[in-house]
Structure formats: C-alpha cells, structure tokens
Amino acid sequence: MAKNKAAKKSLKSGRLKTPETMFLDDLSKQQSFKYRLAQGFGVLFAVSLMLQAWAFANVFSDMALHQSFSLSFLLLGLFALLLRALANYSRERICTSASRDIRYGLRGKLVSILTQLGPARLRIEEDAALSTRVYEQVDALDDFFSRYKPQVFMVGLIPCVILSFVVPISWIAFFIFILTAPLVILFMILVGHKAAEANRRQFGVLGMLSNQFMDLSQGLSELKRLNQTHAARKRLSHSSEEYQRTTMGVLYLAFLSTATLELFASLAIALIALYLGLGLLEILPWQTGSSPVTLAQGIFLLLLAPEFYLPLRQLGNDYHAKQKAEAAATDLLEILNAASPEAATAQSNALSNTPEKENAVNKEAFLSLRDLSWLESGRHRLAPISADIFTGERVWLSGESGVGKSSLLHLLLGFEEAYQGQFFINGEPFSELDLPKWRSKLAWLPQTPEWVSGSIRRNLLLGIETPSEAELEAALIKSQCDVFIKTLPNGLDTSLTELGSGLSGGQMQRLSIARALLSHANVWLLDEPCSGLDTETADAVLETLNQVSKGKTLLIVSHDTHPITWADKHWALTKEGLHE
C-alpha cells in the first residue's frame, strides 16, 4: 500500500518515478536536515561568487582604464573568494557525512534482512554475490548522495542567480546562456542512459565473478583430485576478462560524456567572449561605433560565463553517479523486497482458511503439524503433512532429494512465512511465537557448518553466553573434539578460516555438536549432518549424536544411506506426504 501511494503521488506531481528513483529519494530524506544545511552553504557560495566577480571586475577595469586599482574592491574580492572556498568546503563535508550515514544505515538494514531470511536468502543470490551487493553496491551509492544530490540544487541555484544579474546588463548574453545550457543537459542525459546500462552489466558480471571465486575456493581440493584446476582457472580467467571489458565500457562512456560536456561549455564561453570582445571594440554589425556594455560590465560577464556552465558540467560528470546508483538500487531493492509483508499476509490467509484444524491439535505434543505444506510457484516444495513430536523425542526424517526435508526445517526455523496449513509449539500457533525467543531455544546444525575467520574458541562461543572453562572442556569431551584439538599447534586458539581449512568434515561436524552443547538448547534441528562423510566417519558422528542428544527434542534429516537406529521415530517423507 505504501508503494502504491508513493507511485500515485509521483504521478500527480507530473513525474513518473521508477522504483529505484523513489528508493534513492527515500534514503536521502533520512538526512534531510544535513541536505538543507548544505543548501544554505550553497546559497552562501552563490552570493560570494557574485560578490567576487563584481569586485574583481571593478579592480581589472580600473587598472585598464585608470592604471590604478581600488584597495577596497581588492580586499572585498579576496574576502569573497575566501568565503566561497569555506562555503564549498563546508557543503562538501556535510554531504559526505550525509552519504556515510545513509550507506551505513542501509548496509545494517540489508544485513539484518539477510539474517532474518536465513537459508531463504539463497533464492535471491549466492552468498558471494550477496556480499558484493551489501558492500560494493552500497558503496556505489556514495557519489550519488555526496555529489549528485547536492549538485542538483546548485544547478538550479547558480545559473538562475547569474541570469538575474545578466539580464539588466545584456539581453544578448542572456539569450546565449539560455540557448546553450539545454545542449549540455541533453547530451548529459543521452550519454548517461548508456552509462546506466553499462553499469548494470558491470554489476552483473561482478556478482558472477564473486560466486565463481567462492566456488573455486571451496572446491579447490576436489578440483585438484579430479585434475580440473586448469579448466576452473580458464573459466575464472574468462569471467575476469569479461569484467575488464564491462569496466572499460563504463570508463569509455564516462570520458565520452566529459569530453562532450567540455566541448559544448567551451563553445558557449567562446561565444560570450566573442560577443563581448567585438562589443568593446565597437565593431558589432548591428551596433557599430558604440559598445553595448562598459569594460567593467564586460569583465563581469566574462568572469561569470565559466561559472554559469561549471555546475552543469559538474552535474554531467556526476550524472554517471546517478545512473550507477540506480543500477545498484535495482539489486538492493531485490533484497529489501524479500522482507515485504506480503508473505505474512499469505500466511494469515492460509491460517484463516482452516480454523477447524486447531481442535485436532494434541495439546501434550511439543510440536504439532496439521496439514502443513508449502506451495510455491504452482508446485509443492513440501507436501501436506500432519504429525506430532513430544518433548524428548528424537525423530529421524528421511526421503529422496527434493521432497521438502530441508524446507520443513526452514519453516521450523521461522525463515519462511508463505506456508499453508498450521503448526504449533506447545499448543501455541507458530505465527504467534516470539521468533527471537524461539530461536534462542534451538540448536541448528546445517548440512555444511558455517564458520567465521578466527580461532576455534571464537567460533564455538560465537553468539552464546560465555561458559566456564569446565563447561567448555566437558562439551569438547562429550562431542569427542578434545582428541583432535589437542593435536593442533595452538589448541583452541588455532585459527580457523570460513571454509574450515585444516579440519576434516567429521571434525567440523563434531565442532558443530560441541557448539550445540554449549548453547544449552533443548531442541536440535539437524540437516544432513553426515553429508559428504565416508561411512565410517558418518557412523562415528551419528554415535556421538546418540550419546549427547539423549533427553533432547531432536529432528534429524538424513538419507536412508545412513540409518539412525537409535531414533524414537522414523518419518519417511515423499511427494505425496509423510509416512510414519
């Protein structure tokens, strides 16, 4: 509704704004005070500019006509020059500060949304490309907010102020300014649209290059075993060359635009200079024998001519920043729209369609599923299922790939809202739960454990209350991590990369189990904990889980290739539904 109102408002104002433009405008409103302050310094800049030109014009005319100069005019011109420099410096610092605050706030919001989306973020893009959006493309907005946005005001201010002083002096100079200024703006827009397309291609190639680089880093050992490193290097080299071509295309258009603007501005200034020169020589064809302006007025107009076109030329250069920002905004909006309330509306509609199901809920069950399904894009990601899990039960969920095992876990984690049917926690509808409080009770062991760059100790304690050394040691012993940690050069202080370099798959899974134990969570959700492990290692990890998960409510997803004999229940999930 808010978006529709904003669109209608833009139509009523006579301008059809794109979502990207509206998004950038909304961000700039967050720092409206700073931009108004910058506009105030812009007015001071314009006043000092006129004062400087008028004072120096009188100084130069007195030197030419009377071989003397007025000290008062000289001091006034120097004061105006200093005031102009201070006003411009203050304006730029304020705009830079506004841009920094906008970008920091936006980046925090994007990270928060991606955190809330959890695994669902991968439907937008891979993690490497998402990181490019959050950092590279947010920083691509800097020039728009620090240069283009304030320059739009200056373009409307300075030429208008100059024209107001030119009109009473010379109508011909006034019409030269009026007729040549639109040419600069026209070519700025024509070249700018081409630059926008080039920027979009560049961002797309950069995202693809980031994904390829991450995939190559993660699978380097496997590529070496398959003797495919040459093919991977060739593919990465091809993507790098494509990125180079798109970058050079953007630079080509930027230089072309700058050259075009400089050409038209120079020609216009030359016309003013030619008119004033012929007029002062009294040889204008329509005014022979008399000068249309005095020497002081002519110098005043000549000093103002470059200043009239300078804001237009700067806006032309900064117009690329606008096109680059709109190209970046397209990808950023995709992340922001992923957190729209439409999914929650779909969820509430689904719940209202089946109110009678609540009567069938087992109040004694910890988790109750009632016709829970997930329909997306016309196909079932999860077939309707109904089942109960009681406190302390350990349930093994098996099934073929694609039937919705991981999707069910994502629903329980609260990362997906557009589901159909209902499910309850201790008899309370999941939609009414406090999600942060619910997640604090969970231990989540994904198929591929995720780490941050730092020590093993830091990764184990990340996001939880710091335990005592005795608790830490006990968790390591129960998860059987103590044996291999003692063999590491620095023990718990051994550095760990985001990919877990230096540790085997089984060791990383055991560290995940230790992290779950330290969280003191009573509900464990495990997604393919034995994926990628050989049979012997998988059996050892499952036996460890058997020992440490007794008394906990556990739902473990695993293929039939690794049977879990110690589970209290075995659910077989198919495309038709759940079979107990």
| pLDDT by 10s per residue, the chain, length 580 | 444 444 444 434 444 578 888 888 899 999 999 999 999 999 999 999 999 989 988 888 888 777 777 788 889 989 999 999 999 999 999 999 999 999 999 999 998 888 877 777 777 877 777 888 888 889 888 988 998 889 889 988 988 898 888 888 888 888 888 887 777 777 666 666 666 666 667 667 776 777 777 667 666 666 776 777 777 777 777 777 777 777 777 677 667 766 776 777 777 778 888 877 787 777 776 666 667 778 888 888 888 888 888 887 777 777 777 877 887 888 888 888 876 544 444 444 444 444 444 445 666 778 888 888 877 666 667 878 888 888 889 988 888 877 778 888 888 888 777 778 888 888 888 888 888 888 888 888 887 777 877 888 888 888 788 888 888 888 888 888 888 888 888 888 888 877 666 777 788 888 888 888 888 888 899 888 877 777 888 888 888 888 888 888 999 888 766 678 888 888 888 877 777 6
CATH number of 26-333: 1.20.1560.10
> Where along the chain do its domains lie?
26-333, 356-579
Burial of 74 (0-12, 13-18, 19+ CB in 10 A): middle
Going by C-alpha positions, the residue among 178, 254, 561, 570 that lies closest to residue 395 is 570
**Helix (H) / strand (E) containing 571:** strand 569-573
pLDDT at 355: 42
Are 147 and 98 a contacting pair, CB within 8 Å? no
Are 228 and 291 a contacting pair, CB within 8 Å? no
Q: Whole-structure pTM over 0.75, yes or no?
A: no
Going by C-alpha positions, the residue among 414, 385, 420, 389 that lies closest to residue 399 is 385
Beta-carbon count within 10 A of 346 CB: 15
The CATH class of the 356-579 domain is: alpha beta
pLDDT at 350: 43
Rounded CA-CA distance 137/326 in Å is: 10
Going by C-alpha positions, the residue among 412, 466, 415, 416 that lies closest to residue 442 is 412
Rounded CA-CA distance 48/150 in Å is: 18
Residue ranges in 144-170 assigned as alpha helix (H): 149-166
Length of the chain, in residues: 580
Rounded CA-CA distance 472/481 in Å is: 11
Q: Which long-range contacts (CB under 8 A, 24 or more apart) does 161-167 make?
A: 161/46, 161/49, 161/50, 162/50, 162/304, 162/307, 162/308, 163/308, 165/50, 165/300, 165/304, 166/301, 166/304
The pair of structure tokens assigned to 166 is: 């030119």
Are 327 and 203 a contacting pair, CB within 8 Å? yes
Rounded CA-CA distance 13/25 in Å is: 14
